[in-house]
Amino acid sequence: MDKLFFNGVEIRYKVVKKPIKNLYLEVKDGFVEVRCNYLVPKFHIEKFILKHANHIIEKFKKDEFFYLFGKKYEKGIKDIKAIYQEKLPPVALKYIKIYSEKMNLFPSKVTFRFNKTRWGSCSAKNAISLNYYLAKLPESLIEYVVVHELARTKEKNHSYKFWNLVEKYRKSFRIGKRLIDVGCGKGKFAIKAVKEGYDVFAVDIVKIFLDDLKAVEPKISTHMLNIFSSKAVSDFVHKFGQFNIVVALGLVLNHAAIKKN
């Protein structure tokens, strides 16, 4: 692993060459990984790292600590992943036992893994997988994730029935009744949500869908977007306030950019 210095601070870095156009930088545990094309020379890579040196050093400082069940500890030379692997399962399995019996919902199996994007998941066969990084959170949030995933064994999508089931068993994490349906289409889901008592905002890029929906269910607040993108949805949410539940097209959630025809 190579290294360079910025204002007396050592920055260790690893270069991963790929058939890509741009340079990408990721701060990892004690070093920086740079991904770039095979033809990018070393001096250009180091110039790129130095350009982001302040951010890198700040991130290194934050990584001197770790969280365990909501409490902050100095990292030292501890193997943090090993700690999470040891500490999380007993706590998570305790809540799975408690809520499986309360909800009468039992997973086919429970596994643990390190995951960067999801706290937990439930397969079509009702196998629950939990993220070891849950050990960072207070136990009350771990408890909520367990209830969330157990509810998925019965209600496979995040429908209003799913959220009502979660709310039934975790009153302290009341979901609330303000819902936004992004990419509502002809509004089948939005209409059902209104009947369940939700305050529904329906959003789409097709005006005729919204006009027809408003005619069928006047209680729904309909809104046009010119483009489906994460920024457009984020701007909309900031404009109209906080929503308790967000229902969105997978393309929107994956930062797609689909322009209106």
DSSP 118: -
pLDDT of residue 222: 92
For the stretch 55-114, pLDDT in tens is: 888 887 776 778 899 888 887 656 888 999 999 999 999 999 999 999 999 999 999 999
* CATH of the domain spanning 176-259: 3.40.50.150
User: Quick check: do 80-169 and 176-259 share a fold?
Assistant: no
| Confidence grade of residue 226 (pLDDT, cut at 50, 70, 90) | confident
Q: What is the pLDDT of residue 242?
A: 66
Alpha-carbon distance of 224 to 202, in angstroms, equals: 9
Q: What is the pLDDT of residues 128-180, one digit of tens each?
A: 999 999 998 888 889 989 999 999 999 988 777 887 888 888 765 555 577 88
pLDDT in tens, 240-260: 766 767 776 554 444 333 333
pLDDT averaged over every residue in the chain: 84
Three-state secondary structure call for residue 259: strand
Locate tokens 């799975």: which residue? Answer: 96
Q: Could you tell me which CATH class the domain 80-169 is placed in? A: alpha beta
Instruction: Report in angstroms the alpha-carbon separations of 208 from 204, 222, 233.
Output: 10, 11, 20
- The pLDDT value recorded for residue 93 is 97
Please report, as a single letter, which amino acid is at residue 25: L
pLDDT at 103: 95
Per-residue confidence (pLDDT) for residue 153, from 0 to 100: 95
Specify the pLDDT at position 240.
74
Query: What pLDDT shows up at residue 47?
Result: 93
Q: In the chain, where are the structural domains located?
A: 2-63, 80-169, 176-259
pLDDT digits 0-9 by tens, 191-211: 988 887 888 999 888 899 999
Q: Taking the model in full, what pTM does it have?
A: 0.56
- Identify whether the C-beta of residue 200 lies closer than 8 Å to the C-beta of residue 188: no
Element (H, E) at 67: strand 65-68
Predicted local distance difference test score (pLDDT) of residue 173: 55
